[in-house]
Amino acid sequence: MTHRSEIRFLLNGRAVSLPQVPASQTLLDFLRIERRLTGTKEGCAEGDCGACTVLVGRLHEGALRYEAVNACIRFTASLDGCHVVTVEHLSGRDGALHPVQRAMVEHHGAQCGFCTPGIIMSLYALWMQTPQPTETQVETALQGNLCRCTGYAPIIRAAVAASQYGTPEADHLTLERDRVTAELTALKDGRRVETGPDDNRSILPADLDDFAAAYAAHPQATVIAGSTDVGLWVTKFLRPISPAIFIAHLPELKSVEVSPEAITLGSGVSYSQLQPLIAEHLPHLSEYWDRIAGWQVRNMGTIGGNIANGSPIGDTPPVLIALGAEVTLRHGAARRNLPLEAFFIDYGKQDRRPGEFVESIRIPLPSPATRCAAYKISKRRDEDISAVAAGLSVTVKGGMITDARIALGGMAATPKRAATAEAALQGQPWSEATFATAARAMSEDFAPLSDWRASADYRMRVAQNLLRRFFLEQDGLPVRLSA
């Protein structure tokens, strides 16, 4: 079958077909510069401020689902087969304000207005999913939207009141749903897309096997999943990414299987997609999960990307290593499995050869005898990178510790297990004294660095105290805030 050479998607009410899309073109530049849709703003160009928030709808297992995303770090080429909705699409044909916009006006939710379109789009996504949100739900939806002058109180009041001005049943996107679903279905032709100039080329594989073949043939290519890391390589560092292989559209990489023993997920599963399963099967991770980035980034960013980027401060590796997760790597048709901790060899070095990719991740579910926790220490509560992240899984039988897995991020050049602290727990009684000994032993496991996020001393102290906190919390004892 011949390749297609244009990217096709729906933009608001129109079909768009773009030949020669450069791989590094962002959706924000396309909207503002090429389409003059200037309601979508550029604040930071790095996924932090939310001024560029738009909705992207994609078919998943036949159902159309819209999510708020950051247009500044989303590449135009990745939108093949999607419906992009900008703030211009909100008001009715008669120019009437949308219920979310009316609520923002009536509750004085805007001052300078620069952040406002992005806030409106995040609240629009929330209103469609949860028309009558709690304040906490509003705060979670707005984690990725910064407003520096109004203050959030009127915005939250507007969000809570939005359904008084109209309900999602009468909204454009609800009324158009069948038509948009049919149009997006018609766009799927099962072909690989190759487009863009030779020095800025995009490849969208037809399916997973085609991805494996394309990457094996172009091992120098940049694989792009959610683009929440790669987007910044382009907007902040002007790095070339060609040829780029986009994989966010591949349904095989979005699959999730749950068995009594484990959750197995494709590497392209996003944080938001996994969130309900985390709440159901790994509830100790729920709060931690909501502290990864902001809502827009969680809608785009993938677990596979968080592993493959090899960062020592990624939030998922420590908690997944503590649970005993394994990754499946694939090169062409060949696959191999390895424990996640073995994937990280050294700073910037992973056990992954050219043309090999992360295909899936298997997370064993803890037994009832295993006590688990996850901790994130960062300067800001929301939308911040960890100074230290920790995952702990400790199995206790008859009052004795029979197994202990403790993994930390931010303490070494890679996410790493605390082998000496684990050994100090193994075979010992579950007691405060055992955990105090293990906390002291941890100083042999790590020699952390000082940087602008935290000093080496702080990192070590906090890691040791997290071990003590784990013991106290598990026993329902008060957690002392001073050591």
Ligand X SMILES: Cc1cc2nc3c(=O)[nH]c(=O)nc-3n(C[C@H](O)[C@H](O)[C@H](O)COP(=O)(O)OP(=O)(O)OC[C@H]3O[C@@H](n4cnc5c(N)ncnc54)[C@H](O)[C@@H]3O)c2cc1C
Question: Given the rule CB under 6 A, which residues bind ligand FES?
Answer: 42-45, 47-52, 70, 72, 110-116, 147-150
Query: Closer CB to ligand FES, residue 37 or residue 221?
Result: 37
Q: What is the spatial distance between Cα 395 and Cα 280, in angstroms, rounded to a whole number?
A: 20
Q: Is 304 in the site for ligand X (CB under 6 A)?
A: yes
Q: In whole angstroms, how close is the CB of 81 to ligand FES at the nearest point?
A: 23
User: Contact at 8 Å (CB) between 415 and 306?
Assistant: no
Judged by beta carbon, residue 48 or residue 422, the one nearer ligand X is 48
Torsion over CA: 204, 207, 210, 211 (sign):
positive
Binding of ligand X at residue 223 (CB under 6 A)? yes
When the beta carbons of 3 and 108 are compared against ligand FES, the nearer one is: 108
90 forms part of the interface with ligand X (CB under 6 A)? no
Quick one: what does residue 208 bind among ligand X, ligand FES, none, with the CB cut-off 5 to 8 Å set by partner type?
none
Q: State the Cα–Cα distance between residues 208 and 359, nearest whole angstrom.
A: 9
- The minimum distance between CB 224 and ligand X, in angstroms, equals 5
Q: Which amino acid is at 107?
A: H
28 binds ligand X (CB under 6 A): no
Stretch that binds ligand X, among 16-24, 25-33, 296-304, 343-351 (CB under 6 A): 296-304
Expressed in percent and rounded to 5, the helix, strand and coil fractions of the chain are: 35, 25, 40
- Does the footprint of ligand X cover residue 52 (CB under 6 A)? no
E strand segments, 302-379: 326-331, 334-339, 344-346, 349-350, 357-364, 370-377
Please say which residue, 356 or 422, places its beta carbon nearer to ligand X: 356
Nearest approach in angstroms of CB 169 to ligand X is 33
240 forms bridges with which residues in the sheet? none
Position among 184, 234, 293, 463 found at the interface with ligand X (CB under 6 A): 293
CA-wise closest residue to 70 among 83, 88, 56, 59? 56
The count of other CB atoms within 10 Å of the CB of residue 170 is 9
Please give the backbone phi and psi of residue 480, each rounded to the nearest 5 degrees, phi first: -70, 140
- Write down the H helix ranges in 208-333: 208-217, 230-235, 271-281, 286-289, 295-300, 303-308, 316-322
113 interacts with, out of ligand FES, ligand X, none, CB within 5 to 8 A per kind: ligand FES
x-or-dash string of contact with ligand X, 234-273, rule CB under 6 A:
---------------------------------x------
Please tell me whether residue 297 binds ligand X under the rule CB under 6 A. Answer: yes
Tokens of 200: 């800025």
The footprint of ligand X (CB under 6 A) covers 46-48, 222-230, 267, 292-293, 297, 300-302, 304-306, 308-309, 314-315, 357-358, 385
